[in-house]
Amino acid sequence: MDCHTPISYNAYQVQVAAAEVYAITQRAAISSLNTCTFDRFPGETLFLGRIGGDYVGNPATYTYHYVMINSAGQFLAGLSRYEVDGGMDYAICKFGPNTRFISYTDSRRLNTNGDEPYYGSRH
Protein backbone atom coordinates (compact mmCIF):
# COMPACT_ATOMS: atom_id res chain seq x y z
CA MET A 1 0.00 0.00 0.00
CA ASP A 2 1.50 3.31 -1.11
CA CYS A 3 0.41 6.30 0.97
CA HIS A 4 1.96 9.08 -1.13
CA THR A 5 5.23 9.12 0.85
CA PRO A 6 8.44 7.08 0.53
CA ILE A 7 6.91 4.68 3.09
CA SER A 8 4.88 1.75 1.74
CA TYR A 9 3.27 -1.21 3.50
CA ASN A 10 3.16 -4.85 2.46
CA ALA A 11 0.18 -7.18 2.87
CA TYR A 12 1.39 -8.53 6.22
CA GLN A 13 1.77 -5.03 7.71
CA VAL A 14 -1.73 -4.10 6.54
CA GLN A 15 -3.10 -7.38 7.92
CA VAL A 16 -1.56 -6.78 11.35
CA ALA A 17 -2.77 -3.17 11.53
CA ALA A 18 -6.31 -4.12 10.46
CA ALA A 19 -6.38 -6.95 13.03
CA GLU A 20 -5.28 -4.54 15.78
CA VAL A 21 -8.05 -2.08 14.90
CA TYR A 22 -10.60 -4.91 14.78
CA ALA A 23 -9.44 -6.13 18.21
CA ILE A 24 -10.08 -2.65 19.62
CA THR A 25 -13.64 -2.73 18.26
CA GLN A 26 -14.19 -6.14 19.89
CA ARG A 27 -13.02 -4.84 23.29
CA ALA A 28 -15.73 -2.17 23.07
CA ALA A 29 -13.03 0.50 23.03
CA ILE A 30 -14.47 2.05 19.88
CA SER A 31 -14.38 5.53 21.40
CA SER A 32 -10.57 5.40 21.18
CA LEU A 33 -10.78 5.07 17.37
CA ASN A 34 -11.49 7.70 14.76
CA THR A 35 -14.51 6.93 12.60
CA CYS A 36 -15.36 8.03 9.09
CA THR A 37 -17.54 7.31 6.08
CA PHE A 38 -16.36 6.57 2.56
CA ASP A 39 -18.50 6.96 -0.58
CA ARG A 40 -17.30 3.64 -2.00
CA PHE A 41 -18.95 1.89 0.96
CA PRO A 42 -22.22 3.80 1.53
CA GLY A 43 -24.05 3.39 4.82
CA GLU A 44 -21.06 1.93 6.67
CA THR A 45 -19.38 3.51 9.68
CA LEU A 46 -15.69 2.83 9.23
CA PHE A 47 -12.92 2.72 11.81
CA LEU A 48 -9.43 4.17 11.38
CA GLY A 49 -6.31 2.85 13.05
CA ARG A 50 -2.73 4.04 12.65
CA ILE A 51 -0.25 2.03 10.65
CA GLY A 52 3.47 2.70 10.78
CA GLY A 53 5.13 5.76 12.23
CA ASP A 54 4.76 9.40 11.34
CA TYR A 55 6.44 10.62 8.19
CA VAL A 56 8.07 14.05 8.26
CA GLY A 57 8.61 15.50 4.81
CA ASN A 58 10.74 18.37 3.67
CA PRO A 59 9.83 21.07 4.56
CA ALA A 60 8.65 19.74 7.93
CA THR A 61 5.15 18.53 7.13
CA TYR A 62 3.69 15.65 9.08
CA THR A 63 1.89 12.75 7.43
CA TYR A 64 -0.01 10.02 9.29
CA HIS A 65 -1.10 6.72 7.77
CA TYR A 66 -4.23 4.77 8.70
CA VAL A 67 -6.01 1.55 7.80
CA MET A 68 -9.77 1.75 7.34
CA ILE A 69 -11.93 -1.23 8.37
CA ASN A 70 -15.65 -1.87 8.74
CA SER A 71 -17.42 -3.29 11.80
CA ALA A 72 -16.82 -6.85 10.53
CA GLY A 73 -13.06 -6.24 10.53
CA GLN A 74 -12.69 -6.15 6.76
CA PHE A 75 -9.89 -3.92 5.51
CA LEU A 76 -11.30 -1.45 3.01
CA ALA A 77 -8.62 1.13 2.27
CA GLY A 78 -5.60 3.00 3.52
CA LEU A 79 -5.75 6.69 4.33
CA SER A 80 -3.04 9.31 4.44
CA ARG A 81 -3.63 12.43 6.58
CA TYR A 82 -1.22 15.28 5.99
CA GLU A 83 -0.65 18.95 6.74
CA VAL A 84 -1.41 21.48 4.06
CA ASP A 85 -1.65 25.27 4.43
CA GLY A 86 -1.99 25.08 8.22
CA GLY A 87 -4.79 22.49 8.11
CA MET A 88 -5.12 18.76 7.53
CA ASP A 89 -6.12 17.02 4.31
CA TYR A 90 -6.70 13.37 3.39
CA ALA A 91 -5.85 11.07 0.48
CA ILE A 92 -6.70 7.43 -0.12
CA CYS A 93 -3.62 5.22 -0.34
CA LYS A 94 -2.92 3.29 -3.52
CA PHE A 95 -2.57 -0.46 -3.72
CA GLY A 96 0.84 -1.54 -4.92
CA PRO A 97 2.32 -4.86 -5.98
CA ASN A 98 3.51 -5.54 -2.41
CA THR A 99 -0.07 -5.73 -1.14
CA ARG A 100 -1.27 -7.93 -3.99
CA PHE A 101 -4.57 -6.00 -4.05
CA ILE A 102 -5.89 -5.39 -7.55
CA SER A 103 -9.16 -3.67 -6.65
CA TYR A 104 -11.30 -2.47 -3.76
CA THR A 105 -13.17 -5.78 -3.90
CA ASP A 106 -9.88 -7.64 -3.56
CA SER A 107 -8.84 -5.34 -0.71
CA ARG A 108 -11.60 -6.83 1.44
CA ARG A 109 -9.53 -10.02 1.42
CA LEU A 110 -6.07 -10.07 2.93
CA ASN A 111 -3.86 -12.87 1.70
CA THR A 112 -1.78 -14.95 4.05
CA ASN A 113 1.60 -16.35 3.06
CA GLY A 114 -0.20 -19.17 1.26
CA ASP A 115 -3.11 -18.92 -1.14
CA GLU A 116 -5.83 -19.12 1.51
CA PRO A 117 -7.70 -15.81 1.75
CA TYR A 118 -7.55 -14.10 5.13
CA TYR A 119 -10.72 -12.23 6.08
CA GLY A 120 -10.37 -9.62 8.81
CA SER A 121 -13.76 -10.64 10.15
CA ARG A 122 -12.41 -14.13 10.93
CA HIS A 123 -9.60 -12.80 13.10
The 10s digit of each residue's pLDDT in 40-80 is 888 888 899 999 877 777 666 788 899 999 888 888 888 88
Give the total residue count for the chain: 123
User: How far apart are the C-alpha atoms of 94 and 77, rounded to whole Å?
Assistant: 8
Q: Per-residue pLDDT for 81 more than 60?
A: yes
pLDDT at 75: 87
Whether the per-residue pLDDT at 12 is higher than 80: the answer is: yes
State whether the Cα torsion 21-24-26-28 is positive or negative.
negative
> Over the stretch 89-115, which tens digit does the pLDDT of each residue have?
888 888 766 555 555 555 544 443 343
What sign for the dihedral angle of Cα 7, 21, 82, 98?
positive
Global pTM exceeds 0.75: no
> Rounded CA gap, 47 and 73, in Å?
9
Q: Give pLDDT, residue 83.
A: 82
